[in-house]
Amino acid sequence: MKITFGQMRQMGLRGILVYCHCGHHIALDADRWPDEVRLSDIEPRFVCQGCGARGADVRPDFERGNPRLAIVGGRVAN
Contact residues: Zn ion, CB under 5 A: 20, 22, 24, 48, 50-51, 53
Nearer to Zn ion, 20 or 58 (CB): 20
Q: How far is the CB of 75 from Zn ion (least distance, A)?
A: 26
Dihedral sign, CA of 4, 19, 29, 50?
negative
Nearer to Zn ion, 21 or 67 (CB): 21
User: From CA 23, how far away is CA 69, in angstroms rounded?
Assistant: 24
> What are 47's strand-pairing partners?
54
Q: How far is the CB of 54 from Zn ion (least distance, A)?
A: 10
